Structure formats: structure tokens, C-alpha cells
């Protein structure tokens, strides 16, 4: 598996993975840091998008199998460690593979997050000290 920066040409596959319109994913590639996991001949099997604000790296989207998501989470975690920042993300109940990857990566449940389209979320956080262990 290779991890690389996303390019606009990846928008269609990202849209499939995230169940979002391709134009939304094109905007995501331009507006956030987006890294993709590929296998074989550039077959995109997962992605992570994130940005940093007010001392925290916010993972805005994460998609792929548990193993792929664990690898992709290393990207925002490494950035956060270099910048001495925490990492946060929200996970919905139907994202079992993402939840497993998040917990395996050392994130802790820090309570309920906001609802998205009526769906409850759980906020996960990783502090820099925890990431260095």
C-alpha cells in the first residue's frame, strides 16, 4: 500500500468511498490536506482529509478498511506530533471499521459530538503525549 497526496482526478473514487458527490470531493482536495491509500496501479482504497485550527488537527473525513484507516491516520498524527497539537475526529455509529482503526491508533472517546443529518457522533481525541508512547 502506498500513501500519497490526493489529486483532483481522485475525486470520483473519493466520492464513491465517502458516498458524496464528486464535486464536493473535488473541493475537499483543494480545501484540505487529503492523503489517499493506493494498491496496485493507483487503485484508491481509502483516504483521510484533515486541517488544523486552534491547536488541534481535525480529521474531517476518513474512509477505507480498518487496516487502511489505521495507516492513513498516521498522516494527521505525525503532523500533530511535529506541531505539538492534539488530533480529533467524529465517528458515527455505522462506521465500525473507522471506529476500530481510531481506537487501535490510541484515540480515546471524549464524549458525544454534534449530530450530522440526524445521526449521532462520538468525538475521539488523541493528545500529543499519548501519541508519543
CATH code for the domain of 12? 3.40.630.30
| Residues contacting 55, CB < 8 A, separation 6+ | 85, 86
Give me the domain span that covers residue 77: 2-132
pLDDT given for residue 129 in this prediction: 65
Q: In what order do the strands lie in the sheet with 56-63?
A: 2-5, 33-39, 43-53, 56-63, 86-92, 119-126, 108-116
Torsion sign across C-alpha atoms 127, 95, 44, 8: negative
Mean pLDDT of the chain: 93
Global pTM reads 0.91
pLDDT given for residue 43 in this prediction: 94
pLDDT in tens, 111-122: 999 998 889 999
Give the span between the Cα atoms of 18 and 47, in whole angstroms. 9
What's the domain count of the chain? 1
| Partner residues linked to 56 by β-bridges | 53, 86
The model's confidence at residue 133, banded by pLDDT at 50, 70 and 90, is very low
pLDDT of residue 50 exceeding 70, the answer is: yes
Amino acid at each position: 500500500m502506498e500513501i500519497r497526496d490526493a489529486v483532483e482526478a481522485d475525486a470520483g473514487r473519493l466520492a464513491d468511498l465517502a458516498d458524496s458527490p464528486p464535486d464536493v470531493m473535488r473541493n475537499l482536495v483543494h480545501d484540505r490536506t487529503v492523503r489517499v491509500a493506493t494498491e496496485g496501479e493507483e487503485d484508491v482504497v481509502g483516504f483521510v482529509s484533515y486541517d488544523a485550527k486552534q491547536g488541534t488537527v481535525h480529521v474531517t473525513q476518513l474512509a477505507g478498511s480498518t487496516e487502511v484507516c489505521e495507516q492513513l491516520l498516521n498522516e494527521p498524527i505525525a503532523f500533530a506530533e511535529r506541531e505539538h497539537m492534539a488530533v480529533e475526529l467524529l465517528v458515527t455509529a455505522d462506521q465500525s471499521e473507522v471506529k476500530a482503526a481510531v481506537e487501535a491508533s490510541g484515540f480515546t472517546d471524549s464524549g458525544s459530538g454534534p449530530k450530522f443529518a440526524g445521526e449521532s457522533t462520538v468525538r475521539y481525541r488523541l493528545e500529543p503525549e499519548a501519541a508519543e508512547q
